[in-house]
Structure 1
Amino acid sequence: MNPRLTQAQEQQRALFSQLTLALRRRSRIGPPPTASRPPLPPPPSLFPPLSLFPFPPPSPPPSLSPLPSLSPFPSPPPPPSPSPPPSPSQFPPLFPPLFPPLSPSPSLSPSPPLSPSLFPPLSPSLSLSPSPPPYPPLSRPPYPPPSPSPPPVPRRSGGNSFFVKLLYKASVHGYTAAAFHQRCDNQGPTLSVGYNNSSFVFGGYTNVSAESKLLEKPDSSKLLQKPDSSKLLQKPDSSKLLQKPWRNMDWTPENRRKLLFDIQTYKPIISSLSQVRVLLIGPVGAGKSSLFNSIKSVFKGHVTNQAMTGSSGISLTTQFRTYHFQAGEGQPLPITLCDTMGLEETTGEGLNVDDISSMLRGHIRDRYQFNAAVPLQPEDQDYKNSTSLQDRIHCVAYVIDANKISIMPSKLEDKLNAIRSKINLIGIPQLVLLTKVDEACPAVAEDLTNVYHSLYIKTKLQEASQRLGIPLSCVVPVKNYTHHIEVDQNCDILLLSAVNQMLRFAEDYFDEVNDRLSNLED
């Protein structure tokens, strides 16, 4: 070891020696010689060889003993006697070039010189592998495919196990009988559930498998024979008229004037009363509000439309209204009609049956807003605690459409029967006003005087009497002013006759009240 070199310099020299040997070994490895074509000449160098310093390295020492100085000053000039340069393997310069030119090996073909780069080229056998992803790949898809539907689960009821399986759904499989039988035939006991637009749920269970026999040839011996037409119930002919009327009615102008006079001059037998209060009850669209407009038109002499009317699936009357009448000169008439909300078959819609008792006893004020779900309570603002005979109802008139009496729903009929039972407990007389008789019978529409000659109208009155439990003598046909712009004499007579019947029925109620007062005095 040269004493003039430090340990760091010795390590640096060893590092450069190893690097030089590695580059020499790599330069000897080149492509194998081919006989087909000579090797390509080396590409020209694009950049000059790089060196770590801008000035040339110091020249080697003349002998092995002296070492180049480490001072920044240039080394002394060599002695005049020439001496052979030391071998590079023995004493390489302190700062040799990064990539010195190497002589080709005599046994191998010449290889191109190294490219002036800071890093040696990679071996052709080496290949770069892509960098691994930041996250390992998922072993399964993020959303697993849906599993098949499980088999039907046995349900236990009463100790017996049975399976529930959906066979047919109309909204999925089709609204046809063929689709039903295709999926439900020979499936064993079945449970059917259905519902309609009115939110009614119904169904049934059978332990017999469904079968389709549509494709079987029918047995001609079991076909229904043509029924005897003489034994069938014949539908009444709406155009058939009776020679003699089944109820007498005077259609003359004198009778119209007489009815007007009797109504205008009527006075209740109870002196404390000035007017008769009649309650109108009926289904939606029967014509309760139109009845008030028609009666008012008779006394006014022209068609009026004070109460709201129209065709709708729900009741247009939503308030309890009391309508008063006046003659042509402004004289008040002794009758007041109390209009109510229309009845509907659905529970919780239309007039609440529990409000009937409050109306009959006079506890409901005018313009009370009906609530189909909750009846009027005594603590409400529209409830009248103290009432008199003048505030109570003296007669009840059911307004029924003649065209719909045959198809009246059973639930609506039950509501009317419940109302009639409440009224019977109080003892108030009741009658039925059958409206739209001109639409029910063409002969009546042609001539209104045929109303008591029409056998069809008579059957309609009898049907209303049977379904509502009201005597036939208490059922009166009327015709409202619906499409008219002028009053008609025959229509006025029918309306005035109905008002006259209301006053007569109220008179019977006043007689009953007087009898009760007399019994209390005794």
Structure 2
Amino acid sequence: MGHSQSKSPDMGRSQSKPEPPVFEKPWRRIEWGKISEDLEFVRNYKPEFEGQKLRILLHGPEAAGKSSFINSVQSVLKGRIYSQALADNCSCSSFTKEYTTYKIVREDRSFCPFVFCDIMGLSERGGVLEEDIKLALKGHVKEGYKFNPASQLPESHESYQKNPTPNDTVHVLVCIIPADNLDLMSDEVVGKIRRIREDARDHYISQIAILTKIDQVCPELKEDLKKVYILPHLKRKIEKFSATVGIPMSNIFPVKNYHEEIDLDDDINALILSAMKHIINSGDDCINFHHNRFESS
């Protein structure tokens, strides 16, 4: 008694190597400064089937940046800062209240054959019901329907579309997640995102996730957006979100929406176009899958 045991000099010390400030190589490749190819792809995309529209439904927590993403895509395609979808910088609640479809205009004023559908945000209380999102996926929600957080859209309502066409149904479900609030998402909201995702999967609807506000969690990106794929901190956030909701890493894209800028920026455009290229390819695969399934039935 009274004799103290000597401690190993390594006892209590972490055996893991310290995380490097940046990765030696980017974990995803982006052709910075060479966006013309992706820009032409998005501008000139045309579905294989005549009259077909690719419908992209955006959903996610309140104030995630859904409307800002629509405006950012429109800005890139028009070649100037553009605000079509109403966005709010003051409220932490959902600014979008109605089911709203946005057509995307090219520089020549023609419309792209894809549309964005913006909806009310998800929240613990007062947000859009997951049942209404599931109805929207199947094309049962008409344009302009004002979401009721207290009750699901009934079949008897004038805004319920009983016989949706292939252009009414959703081809890509895009989950918009703000990087700065990722760790604050409640289990209830995460559960809703997972169940909506599972419903989309059951209907063979493609799924993509967009991580917005990345410069709010990584100040380095305010100075140089090209660091986006070499910052371990940001990759950890993407990995955590992937593990939480089940969306593969290959289907998650970090972007910076246009917010305070008055001119376009090639690096912002590169990330937005990278995401849009994959959204369009995924949606086109969905269109072809459902067409071939219908033809063979």
Provide TM-score, normalisation by structure 1. Answer: 0.53
Matched-pair contact (CA < 8 Å) for 1:264–1:334: no
2:101 paired with 1:300: no
The number of aligned residues is 287
Deviation at 1:460, TM superposition (A): 1.3
- 1:502 pairs with 266, 279, 292, which one? 279
Q: Which has the higher contact order (CA 8 A, sep 6+)?
A: 2
Equivalence for 1:114: none
Matched-pair contact (CA < 8 Å) for 1:433–1:475: yes
Matched-pair contact (CA < 8 Å) for 1:301–1:487: yes
Give, in whole Å, the separation in 2 of the partners of 1:296 and 1:485.
14
User: In structure 2, the residue corresponding to 1:333 is in which secondary structure?
Assistant: strand
Give, in whole Å, the separation in 2 of the partners of 1:268 and 1:436.
31
Give, in whole Å, the separation in 1 of the partners of 2:224 and 2:295.
49
Equivalent AA in structure 2 for residue 287 of structure 1 = G
Report Cα offsets for 1:85-134 as digits up to 9, x if no partner: xxxxxxxxxxxxxxxxxxxxxxxxxxxxxxxxxxxxxxxxxxxxxxxxxx
Deviation at 1:301, TM superposition (A): 2.0
Equivalence for 2:253: 476
User: In structure 2, the residue corresponding to 1:247 is in which secondary structure?
Assistant: coil
1:447-486 equivalence runs, <5 A: 447-486=224-263
Matched-pair contact (CA < 8 Å) for 2:72–2:82: yes
Report Cα offsets for 1:125-178 as digits up to 9, x if no partner: xxxxxxxxxxxxxxxxxxxxxxxxxxxxxxxxxxxxxxxxxxxxxxxxxxxxxx
2:290 paired with 1:290: no
Deviation at 1:471, TM superposition (A): 0.7
Which region of structure 1 is more displaced relative to structure 2, 413-422 or 466-475? Answer: 413-422
Equivalence for 1:215: none
Which region of structure 1 is more displaced relative to structure 2, 398-407 or 476-485? Answer: 398-407
Give, in whole Å, the separation in 2 of the partners of 1:350 and 1:380.
20
- 1:342 pairs with 121, 125, 143, which one? 121
Equivalent AA in structure 2 for residue 406 of structure 1 = D
Q: Percent identity?
A: 33
Cα distance, 1:277–1:378 mapped onto 2, change above 3 Å: same
Provide TM-score, normalisation by structure 2. Answer: 0.91
Give, in whole Å, the separation in 2 of the partners of 1:411 and 1:436.
22
Deviation at 1:341, TM superposition (A): 0.3
The structure richer in helix per residue is 2
Equivalent AA in structure 2 for residue 281 of structure 1 = H
1:7-18 equivalence runs, <5 A: none
Give, in whole Å, the separation in 1 of the partners of 2:178 and 2:114.
23
- 2:97 pairs with 318, 334, 337, which one? 318
Deviation at 1:494, TM superposition (A): 0.8
Equivalent AA in structure 1 for residue 120 of structure 2 = M
Equivalent AA in structure 1 for residue 12 of structure 2 = D
Report Cα offsets for 1:5-48 as digits up to 9, x if no partner: xxxxxxxxxxxxxxxxxxxxxxxxxxxxxxxxxxxxxxxxxxxx
1:132-143 equivalence runs, <5 A: none
Matched-pair contact (CA < 8 Å) for 1:263–1:334: no
Equivalence for 2:162: 385
- 1:228 pairs with 12, 25, 28, which one? 12
Give, in whole Å, the separation in 2 of the partners of 1:485 and 1:427.
39
User: In structure 2, the residue corresponding to 1:405 is in which secondary structure?
Assistant: helix
Equivalent AA in structure 1 for residue 68 of structure 2 = S
Unaligned stretches of 5+ in structure 2? Answer: 5-10
Unaligned stretches of 5+ in structure 1? Answer: 1-220, 222-226
2:47 paired with 1:268: yes
Report Cα offsets for 1:180-233 as digits up to 9, x if no partner: xxxxxxxxxxxxxxxxxxxxxxxxxxxxxxxxxxxxxxxxx9xxxxx8242589
Deviation at 1:513, TM superposition (A): 1.0
Give, in whole Å, the separation in 2 of the partners of 1:315 and 1:284.
5
Give, in whole Å, the separation in 2 of the partners of 1:474 and 1:232.
29
Report Cα offsets for 1:438-490 as digits up to 9, x if no partner: 11112222101111111211111111111111111011111101111111011
Matched-pair contact (CA < 8 Å) for 2:131–2:152: yes
Deviation at 1:258, TM superposition (A): 1.3
Matched-pair contact (CA < 8 Å) for 1:406–1:463: no
1:109-508 equivalence runs, <5 A: 228-230=12-14, 240-252=21-33, 255-273=34-52, 275-310=53-88, 311-346=90-125, 349-508=126-285
Report Cα offsets for 1:272-297 as digits up to 9, x if no partner: 41x21100011011100110111111
User: In structure 1, the residue corresponding to 2:130 is in which secondary structure?
Assistant: coil
Matched-pair contact (CA < 8 Å) for 1:405–1:463: no
User: In structure 1, the residue corresponding to 2:99 is in which secondary structure?
Assistant: strand
- Kindly name which structure, 1 or 2, has the bigger radius of gyration based on alpha carbons: 1
Give, in whole Å, the separation in 1 of the partners of 2:247 and 2:86.
29
Deviation at 1:498, TM superposition (A): 1.0
Equivalence for 1:36: none
